Structure 1
């Protein structure tokens, strides 16, 4: 993570050098692993750490930093949530047809104190095991 932090900061410095930093949102993510034999599994269709967890870092534009705060989200989020999050942070309306949900609400408020609604009503899984 230290290496990733350094690279993200290098990107911010480069953007500053060409005067693009103030209005640029940076998002970093990665795919998850294949389990590689952990728990005797070799695919990414299980809820274990090596299959289910991926890094996701969203750095808002410095011009928005005063209105947003960092957060560690203890909810199930998906890659399909990145597009609506970036649109929301950019002030663009998220289409109703979008399957993902914006994570920006976690950056704007203390959701636990202000929003009693569940994060998701359902979650669509793309992988199956054991003939499901």
Structure 2
């Protein structure tokens, strides 16, 4: 039996895909989602995690709005595993890490904030997520 969150993600992806499909021109884009430390400046730092959902996106305003929604949806669906994924990437002890989700359309260099900062803090011991004290 599929988790209700997975149903929600699939539903949102179908809706987003239908929205994007209305503009058949200029489907040369790609949507990228990333997580940065909340205190980091995305113009100066590399993201902790980057995801490419592999959905064709037009390189225009509608595409940017769709990419924003895709990243917010992916973030919402993966909240339960974010800590584990971050710890496996960082591979060192980390206390009270907070992340913010950003998106980027196509090969543009500038990351834009989704304004979704995770209120939960991530703590790692090595590459394992642990409960923050």
TM exceeding 0.5: no
More strand by share: 2
Scaled by the length of structure 1, the TM-score of the pair is 0.27
Bigger relative contact order, structure 1 or 2, given CA contacts below 8 A and separation 6+?
2
Bigger radius of gyration, 1 or 2?
1
